[in-house]
Amino acid sequence: MAAEPINVNEFQELARQELPKMFYDFYAGGAEDQHTLKENVEAFRRIMFQPRILVDVSRVDLSTTVLGYKISAPIMIAPTAMHKLAHPHGEIATARAAAACNTIMILSFSSTCSIEEVAASCNAVRFFQLYVYKRRDISATLVQRAERNGYKAIVLTADCPRLGRREADIKNKMIVPPLKNLEGLLPNKVISVSDGGSNLEAYANETFDASLCWEDIGWLKSITNLPILIKGILTREDAMKAVDVGVAGIIVSNHGARQLDYTPATISVLEEVVHAVGGRVPVLFDGGVRRGTDVFKALALGAQAILVGRPVIFGLAAKGEHGVRQVIEMLKNELELTMALSGCPSLNYITRSHVKTEHETPHSML
């Protein structure tokens, strides 16, 4: 029997043992040479701590709010596709874990459980991720269904006019299963296209609206009363445009390194985006988080909360709902310990001075 995992990284191997190779590679893989995939994780290792001592940390409070919703810790569940490929209970199990951990789940547009099924499964605070299709009526219908079913925000994924080249999926001839949210909205022949290799790219090219641009945020705002966050921002220029068009929040993300390889690790551009936004809207962070120390580093560089993607999927594959809960609780426990050892009894105490990035001079040397 496999040993019980004691950190988030160990769930990946459990998931690899549990999943068919095609599905494991789909979840674990990145674009092309997978440089950015590795760098998303490695870049955290180049950030060091500058802890404070003799601070009363007998009680450590991890709680925070995102768009006014209180959560137990600044750790949210990122939108990731097709959870039923990982576990039969799919997104329902993930949502129930989010509710048990008192955090927010962002339901993927490409979920294998419907908007309605997930909403009925538990009382988790849920956001809905949106891709904009060439047929805008499909995207509008999904937004309106999310709003009717109590989802609290729309997360527009904006870095996917076309699908990145994911070579493991091509080798494995990965097939897109029917997506529950699109039943009755798209003909099955579009969903099941397969011309050899991966049909993910063919599916995306058939459906995604590559003409989507900043002016279309106005259209999205016109069809919903929900706050809109933009996911996929990596530059100060795009961060400033997002604020200018009136979004409610920004998610710094390179799509888990699944789109354009050799984009920067998200943690390396977080501070640039935070400075550009200047506190006008919350900045969330996505990419490469595997430890509570990573969460602390992102918070110190200005993120309000972080999103966890692959570790949630690996926990789900290994142990279902319980595995997702374990992943979130492990990160929370590690964050709490990091805060205590850094002299931070609450999130408000975490500042830029608690970390040192490459090429910076330690305070003790000044």
Question: Residue 145, annotated ligand binder?
Answer: no
Q: Is there a catalytic annotation at residue 83?
A: no
Question: Residue 323, annotated ligand binder?
Answer: no
Selecting among 35, 83, 89, 255, the annotated active-site residue is 255
Question: Residue 357, annotated ligand binder?
Answer: no
Please report which helix (H) or strand (E) contains residue 237, including its range: helix 236-244
Question: Residue 148, annotated ligand binder?
Answer: no
**What does the DSSP assignment read for 146-191?**
HHHTT---EEEE-S-SS----HHHHHHT--PPPPGGGTTTS-HHHH
| Residues 306, 238: Cα–Cα separation, whole Å | 19
Question: Residue 349, annotated ligand binder?
Answer: no
Question: Residue 38, annotated ligand binder?
Answer: no
To 10 degrees, what angle do helices 292-300 and 266-277 make? 30
Question: Residue 157, annotated ligand binder?
Answer: yes
Question: Residue 79, annotated ligand binder?
Answer: yes
Distances (CA, A) of 183 to 46, 69, 132: 46, 31, 17
Question: Residue 80, annotated ligand binder?
Answer: yes
| Residues 251, 274: Cα–Cα separation, whole Å | 10
Question: Residue 166, annotated ligand binder?
Answer: yes
**What DSSP state is assigned to residue 93?**
H
Strand partners of residue 128: 107, 154
Q: Which residues are annotated as a binding site?
A: 79-81, 108, 129, 131, 157, 166, 231, 253, 255, 258, 286-290, 309-310
Q: Which residues are annotated as a binding site for glyoxylate?
A: 131, 166, 255
Q: Which residues are annotated as a binding site for FMN?
A: 79-81, 108, 129, 157, 231, 253, 258, 286-290, 309-310
Active site residues: 255
